[in-house]
Each structure stands twice: as C-alpha cells, then as structure tokens.
Amino acid sequence: MKVDVALFASLSEYHSVDGDTRTRTYDLAEGTTIADLISVLGLPDQPRIVFVDSRHAEESAPLHEGQRLAIFPPVAGG
C-alpha cells in the first residue's frame, strides 16, 4: 500500500524528499502501523504530534492505502 509521509521541523532530516515538499511516498506492507514506520525511519525517542488525514492519530494505529501521515516534534507558537 502507498502512504504519503511528511516529516516537519527537526524531523525533516530523517528522510529525503523530492522537490519543495517535506513529503515522500512509501510503499508499505499491509498492517504496518505508525509506530512501525517511526521505527524504520529512526525518529528520535521523544514526544510527537501525529496526524493521519488531518486528524490526530495514535501511534499504534495501522496505516491504510492512500493515507497522508504527518509527524511533528513538539512545537508551538502563536
């Protein structure tokens, strides 16, 4: 299954992307969870903010074909 994955702020450097986006399409095995992908990407062990298709998601959730996963380190502003 194909999933678009976007990594932001300090996490951007954990994968290479094409063009002016922070997004890369991954071909993943069915049943892959967000946590599985985070492990493969080697993201640092720290709190994260995770969205799947614009909604907050738990890292234990399985990914599905065509979804967009966005992961941020703890950030805020205002």
Partner 1 sequence: MRYLLRVNMSDLTITKEDLPAGWARYGGRALTSAIVFAEVPPTADPLGADNVLVFAPGLLGGTNTPNGGRLSVGAKSPLTGGIKESNSGGQAANALGRLEIAAIIVTGKPADPDARYMLTIEADGSASLSRVDEWAGVQNYALADMIKATRPEDDRYSTITNGPAGEAGLKASGIAVSDMKGLPNRFAGRGGMGAVMGSKGLKAIVVSDKGVGTPAHADKEAFSAALKTFSSALKEHPVSGQGLPTYGTNVLTNILSEAGGLPTRNFSEGSFEGAEATSGERMREVTLERGGDVSHGCHTGCVIQCSRYYVDKDGHYKTKGPEYETVWSFGADCGIDDLDDIAELDRICGEFGLDTIEMGATMAVYMDSGKIAFGDGPAAIAALRSIFEGGEPGRVLGDGAEATGKAFGVAHIPVVKHQALPAYDPRAVQGIGVTYATSTMGADHTAGYTVATNILKVGGDVDPLKAEGQAELSRNLQIATAMLDALGFCIFVAFPVLDIPEAFNAIFEMTEAHTGQPWDADALMQVGKETLVYEKLFNDRAGFGPADDRLPEFFKNVELPPHNIKFMVSDADLDSVYDFVPEVAAQMGLE
Which residues, at least 6 apart from 76, have a Cβ–Cβ distance to it below 8 Å?
Answer: none
Closest to partner 1 by CB, 31 or 44: 44
CA max distance for the chain: 39
Interaction of residue 12 with partner 1, rule CB under 8 A: yes
| Among the listed residues 10, 16, 74, the one whose alpha carbon sits nearest the alpha carbon of residue 43 | 10
Tokens of residue 54, six digits? 């614009």
59 touches 34 (CB < 8 A): yes
When binding is defined by CB under 8 A, the residue of 18, 29, 60, 78 that contacts partner 1 is 78
- Pick from 18, 21, 29, 45 the residue near partner 1 by CB under 8 A: 21
Can residue 4 be called a binding residue for partner 1 (CB under 8 A)?
no
The least distance separating partner 1 from the CB of residue 3, rounded to whole angstroms, comes to 15
Please give the helix or strand (H or E) that residue 43 lies within, else none: none
Enumerate binding residues for partner 1 (CB under 8 A): 6, 8-10, 12, 20-22, 46-47, 49, 51, 53-56, 70, 72-78
